[in-house]
């Protein structure tokens, strides 16, 4: 097969299963990030994005990631609000990542031939755990940061393209904060593969120059408000200190296990905190981290590809390790960047399979058609991954399917119960909606969306005093929740307490200056509301 034949075959094999998801609806965070995002209708939004003004504006959804928001604007300009267009863009970005991974792998050790790079890219493109990031446009930041990060590293392997490394890194940083590990990955690549290292003077300059935008963006991020759940406000699902550090090794092992055996694949992994050193999750996770660290440091000379893959997994895990507590301690989309190292490692191990050929048939009398064992093994693995990916993609067809499948595998998910309650409410099944909202509130009292929606149901039935009591309880638990203050304003207005209602509207706007219902209050009647988790 020619070199271009490899590229074409790679793209077709990876794209084929994802075409089944192009007709799916917007789901989950797509509603808030794309469909209901008021910033996308701002006349000055493009100017603010290009000037990076949104990075320090906490009121803009995904404002810290202007490249992501810019991609939504471009999609809306081309597709309007047709989900198929947004899904197609995500698929194209995923294919771009696959091509860059193949190119980088080929650059690492050209003497190994095309198989390791092709295998790494194919395994990555078809791995079922990556479907969350690829299928959901709201999680596009993981695709974009990986795309630009790989481009930055690829540019840093040759002197004539080294200049491109910095703008690619800036684009990566403007896509997601995890791009901050790019300079470390670049140094690790040069350490494991000296042939990719730039001339000494240029390498020193490149290392210093790439560190500069990371520092600049870090300052901007810190000036934009608290990082993730590190604020003093309540964080409903985050791991509080020191549980975040105690749980970190288990989260690492969970990522590795999910890459090895992609099951269960669910949109809401409920993580129970590790609080004791004797917990088997801490012990097994710590052993895995130490073993991988020792392996990475011991093999750069004898097995650089394996060392690079393991080191990549460890380095890329740091931003999602919950050292800074995340609102969602664990999500499958977090694995998108880590999976690059895993697939490089898996491809190299596959390429070490003995190349003895196995007869598999005859094309003509006296002629024998043979398949290399490693190619056959790769084909079997990819067929399995394709089947699992297609099956997982079906879960993302619509909100009802996504959250009902989530509850089947994770009944402890308060988020899933809230989303199911919203679906039942829209379908007119208020009793079932109430059951889901009550269960959501029981499972996670700090995630007050369920409680707010119970209050909304009471308000729709004219029981505004009961709604007020529930909303004040929600505010007591989560004073930072704009939905609670807005719905309290609606209840107070219905009770005739106009001044108190206006005070709650003002508090809503202090917490979220772009809250649509509060912004439009003076120009149109207050709409019915609800609270998405």
pLDDT score of 183: 97
d(CA 377, CA 383): 10
pLDDT score of 529: 55
Question: Looking at the predicted structure, is the pLDDT value of residue 363 above 80?
Answer: no
Question: Looking at the predicted structure, is the pLDDT value of residue 361 above 60?
Answer: no
pLDDT score of 308: 98
pLDDT score of 388: 97
Establish how many alpha carbons lie within 13 A of residue 51's alpha carbon, considering only the half-sphere containing its beta carbon.
Answer: 8
CA-based torsion, 280, 281, 285, 288: positive or negative: positive
Question: Looking at the predicted structure, is the pLDDT value of residue 208 above 90?
Answer: yes
Phi and psi at residue 370, in whole multiples of 5°? -130, 155
pLDDT score of 59: 81
Give the β-pairing of 370-372 and 357-359: antiparallel
d(CA 416, CA 413): 5
If you average pLDDT over every residue of the chain, what do you get? Answer: 92
**Average pLDDT in the 156-182 region?**
97
pLDDT score of 527: 46
Residues contacting residue 455 through CB under 8 Å, at least 6 positions apart:
466, 467, 468, 470, 471, 474, 487, 491
**Average pLDDT in the 152-160 region?**
96
Rounded to the nearest angstrom, the gap between the alpha carbon of residue 196 and the centroid of all alpha carbons in its chain is 30
Residues contacting residue 133 through CB under 8 Å, at least 6 positions apart:
139, 140, 142, 143, 332, 333, 336
pLDDT score of 186: 98
pLDDT score of 356: 58
**DSSP at 111:** G
Three-state DSSP state, 23: coil
d(CA 179, CA 173): 5
Question: Looking at the predicted structure, is the pLDDT value of residue 176 above 80?
Answer: yes
**Average pLDDT in the 275-301 region?**
96
Instruction: Give CA separation, 269 vs 258, 320, 385, 404, in Å.
Output: 12, 14, 21, 14
Question: Looking at the predicted structure, is the pLDDT value of residue 291 above 90?
Answer: yes
d(CA 193, CA 13): 29
Contact 107, 157 (CB under 8 A): yes
Question: Looking at the predicted structure, is the pLDDT value of residue 531 above 90?
Answer: no
| % of residues, the chain, pLDDT over 90 | 83
Contact 316, 338 (CB under 8 A): yes
pLDDT score of 367: 43
> Is it true that domain 413-519 has CATH number 1.25.40.10?
yes
**What digits encode the pLDDT tens for the residues 412-422?**
999 999 999 99
Which two tokens mark 321? 């390790």
Question: What residues pair up with 372 in beta bridges, in sequence order?
Answer: 357
Instruction: Report the range of poorest mean pLDDT among 113-122, 234-243, 356-365.
Output: 356-365
Global confidence as pTM: 0.93
Question: Looking at the predicted structure, is the pLDDT value of residue 436 above 70?
Answer: yes
Three-state DSSP state, 370: strand
d(CA 143, CA 135): 11
Structural domain spans, the chain: 3-351, 413-519
Question: Looking at the predicted structure, is the pLDDT value of residue 371 above 80?
Answer: no
pLDDT score of 228: 65
């Amino acid at each position: 097969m020619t070199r271009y034949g490899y590229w074409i075959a790679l793209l077709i094999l990876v794209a084929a299963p994802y075409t089944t998801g192009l007709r799916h609806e917007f789901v989950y965070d797509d509603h808030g990030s794309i469909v209901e995002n008021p910033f996308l209708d701002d006349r000055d939004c493009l100017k603010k994005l290009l000037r990076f003004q949104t990075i320090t504006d906490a009121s803009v959804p995904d404002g810290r990631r202007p490249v992501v928001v810019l991609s939504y604007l471009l999609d809306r300009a081309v597709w309007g609000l047709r989900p198929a267009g947004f899904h197609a863009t995500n698929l194209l970005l995923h294919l771009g990542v696959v091509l860059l991974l193949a190119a980088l792998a080929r650059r690492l050790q050209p003497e190994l031939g095309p198989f390791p790079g092709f295998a790494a890219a194919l395994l990555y493109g078809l791995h079922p755990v990556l479907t969350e990031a690829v299928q959901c446009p709201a999680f596009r930041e993981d695709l974009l940061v990986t795309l630009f990060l790989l481009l930055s590293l690829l540019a840093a392997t040759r002197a004539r393209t080294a200049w491109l490394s910095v703008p690619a890194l800036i684009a990566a940083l403007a896509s997601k904060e995890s791009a901050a590990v790019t300079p470390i990955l670049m140094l690790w690549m040069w350490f494991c593969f000296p042939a990719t290292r730039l001339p000494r003077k240029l390498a020193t300059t490149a290392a210093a120059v790439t560190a500069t935008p990371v520092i600049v963006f870090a300052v901007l991020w810190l000036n934009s408000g608290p990082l993730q759940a590190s604020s003093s406000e309540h964080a409903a699902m985050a791991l509080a200190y020191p549980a975040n550090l105690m749980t970190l090794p288990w989260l690492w092992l969970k990522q590795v296990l999910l890459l090895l055996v992609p099951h269960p694949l669910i949109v809401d992994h409920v993580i129970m905190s590790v609080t004791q050193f004797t917990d088997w999750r801490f012990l097994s996770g710590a052993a895995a981290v130490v073993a991988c660290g020792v392996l990475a440091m011991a093999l750069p000379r004898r097995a650089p590809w394996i060392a690079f893959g393991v080191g990549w997994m460890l380095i890329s895990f740091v931003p999602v390790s919950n050292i800074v507590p995340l609102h969602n301690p664990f999500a499958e989309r977090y694995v998108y960047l880590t999976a690059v190292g895993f697939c490089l490692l898996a491809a190299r191990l596959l390429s070490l399979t003995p190349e003895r050929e196995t007869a598999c048939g005859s094309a003509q009398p006296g002629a024998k058609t043979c398949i290399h064992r490693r190619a056959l093994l790769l084909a079997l693995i990819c067929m399995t991954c394709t089947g699992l990916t297609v099956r997982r993609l079906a879960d993302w067809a619509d909100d009802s399917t996504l959250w009902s499948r989530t509850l089947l595998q994770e009944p402890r998910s308060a988020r899933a119960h809230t989303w199911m309650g919203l679906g039942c409410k829209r379908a007119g099944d208020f009793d079932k909606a109430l059951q889901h909202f009550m269960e959501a509130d029981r499972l996670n009292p700090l995630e007050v969306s369920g409680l707010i929606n119970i209050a909304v149901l009471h308000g729709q039935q004219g029981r505004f005093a009961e709604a007020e009591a529930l909303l004040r309880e929600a505010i007591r638990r989560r004073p930072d929740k704009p939905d609670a203050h807005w719905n309290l304003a609606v209840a107070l207005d219905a009770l005739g307490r106009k001044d108190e209602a206006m005070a709650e509207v003002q508090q809503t706007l202090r917490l979220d200056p772009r809250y649509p219902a509060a912004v439009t209050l003076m120009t149109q009647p207050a709409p019915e509301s609800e609270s998405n988790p």
